[in-house]
Amino acid sequence: MYRLTANLAQMIVNKMMKDIPYNINIMDKNGVIIGSGNKERIGILHHGAVDAIRYRKAVEIKKDEEFVKKGINLPIEMNGDIIGVVGISGEIGETRPFGNLVRSTVILLIEQSVALEKANQEEKRKYDLFNRIMDTDTLYTKELAEQAKVYGLELNKPSQIVYVESQSNIDEINLNDLPTFKITNDSICVVVQEIELVDPLITRIQKQNQDVRISISGVNDRPSNGYIQAKSAMRVLRGLFSDKKIIFYTDCEVIADISEWLKQNRSIEKITTLLEKNEELCKTLQVYLNSNLNSNEAAGLLNIHRNTLNYRLEKIQKITGKDPKNILELVELLFILINRIK
């Protein structure tokens, strides 16, 4: 039997009383008030509710008593069980017409809450399973493989990871026919085990939400390895490119792996802190790199004069101690850009 909680009862009361000009009480399966427009009544045993539960029908109270108010009390039934009672305080002639409408609305709100709770529980189970699968130390047991199959994932089959980040609503992307896991409010991970589906999947994602960045791992025997690759490739994409939306790990493998290794490098971290506060300089450096160090092209893309570009590059050198026009120091700046991305 579903247990009606005090928090849900009070939430329903608050919602209903915005539209109903009478006090509303909700009692639990024992007849105790657990939600009310009059907070002083919470915790009181309501004998009208007790009778409504006992006789499984509406009970009318025609005059105020010490612990109850006149009004109508209707049992709340779900799946054949009485889980509580809803009461409307007021003159019987006035409250009676609202009775069934209020009860039906309360039941609907409870059902919505139950469905949401089940969905949240399922989402948590799925998220916990994802974390186990993507942990490189996890042993892929027969039991884990069976759990993964529920979501269409074959653990013993090679796969690619498609990792997606969005600056808007990631829930707009519907990929229910594929093993898809929501990681955060703005990121999802898709495990693709039919390699020919990767390109169509990218197109499909972009059609549903154009405000996304996508990184794609190499082909791996374990999804956990692909997840690491896709995440490190995403750091490269976000760190080095201001406009690019898609990156394949195989196209940036060395840079991605080195940048992961450098995550804990203190000297890189120190310089990163100096540069990351100035988004204009970061973008200038990104465009300069992606213009193959062509100052005229970079200035044009940034819509600034070449002298302004040179001024910004000199400012980068002054802040970081690294000269963007020196190839060795530029390489260091490249990793500094990536290191901004956690």
CATH code of 331's domain: 1.10.10.2840
Which pair of structure tokens corresponds to residue 206? 């972009």
Sequence-distant (6+) residues with CB within 8 A of 261 are none
Judge if 27 and 107 occupy the same domain: yes
pTM of the model: 0.76
The pLDDT of residue 128 is 94
Range of 142's domain?
134-259
The pLDDT of residue 21 is 86
Final residue before a domain boundary, out of 227, 259, 291: 259
User: Which residue type occupies 267?
Assistant: S
Position 322 in a domain: yes
Phi-psi region of 324 (alpha: psi -120 to 50; beta: other; left: phi over 0): alpha
The pLDDT of residue 32 is 95
H and E: helices and strands count for the chain: 13, 10
Beta bridge partners of 166: 212
The pLDDT of residue 108 is 92
Position 59 in a domain: yes
Q: Note the Cα 59 to chain centre separation in Å.
A: 45
The pLDDT of residue 234 is 96
Judge if 251 and 285 occupy the same domain: no
The pLDDT of residue 1 is 72
What per-residue string of b and e applies to 205-227 under the rule 16 or more CB within 10 Å gives b? bbeebeebbbbbbbbbebbbbbb
Burial zone of 93 (CB within 10 Å; 0-12 exposed, 13-18 middle, 19+ buried): exposed
Final residue before a domain boundary, out of 58, 84, 119: 119
Q: What Rg do the C-alpha atoms of the chain give, in angstroms?
A: 30
Using CA atoms, how far apart are residues 68 and 193, in angstroms rounded to an integer? 64
Final residue before a domain boundary, out of 220, 235, 259: 259
Closest CA to 74 of 43, 107, 52, 96: 52
Q: Are 164 and 190 in contact (CB under 8 A)?
A: yes
Judge if 155 and 234 occupy the same domain: yes
Residues of the chain where predicted confidence (pLDDT) is lower than 70? none
Alpha carbon of 25 to those of 6, 55, 103, 327: distances in Å? 11, 19, 11, 74
Judge if 244 and 271 occupy the same domain: no
Judge if 271 and 249 occupy the same domain: no
Using CA atoms, how far apart are residues 86 and 75, in angstroms rounded to an integer? 6
Sequence-distant (6+) residues with CB within 8 A of 229 are 161, 217, 218, 220, 249, 253, 256
Position 128 in a domain: no
Strands 81-89 and 71-78: antiparallel
Judge if 112 and 63 occupy the same domain: yes
CATH number at residue 149: 3.30.70
Which pair of structure tokens corresponds to residue 149? 């199959």
Judge if 73 and 143 occupy the same domain: no
Position 84 in a domain: yes
The pLDDT of residue 286 is 93
Position 129 in a domain: no
Judge if 23 and 106 occupy the same domain: yes
Judge if 254 and 271 occupy the same domain: no
Judge if 243 and 330 occupy the same domain: no
Position 100 in a domain: yes
Judge if 176 and 197 occupy the same domain: yes
Give pLDDT tens digits for 249-288.
999 999 999 998 888 777 777 777 777 778 899 999 999 9
CATH number at residue 109: 3.30.450.20
Beta bridge partners of 82: 77
The pLDDT of residue 342 is 81
Position 96 in a domain: yes
| Structural domains counted in the chain | 3
Judge if 138 and 193 occupy the same domain: yes
Give pLDDT tens digits for 289-312.
999 899 999 999 999 999 999 999
Position 126 in a domain: no
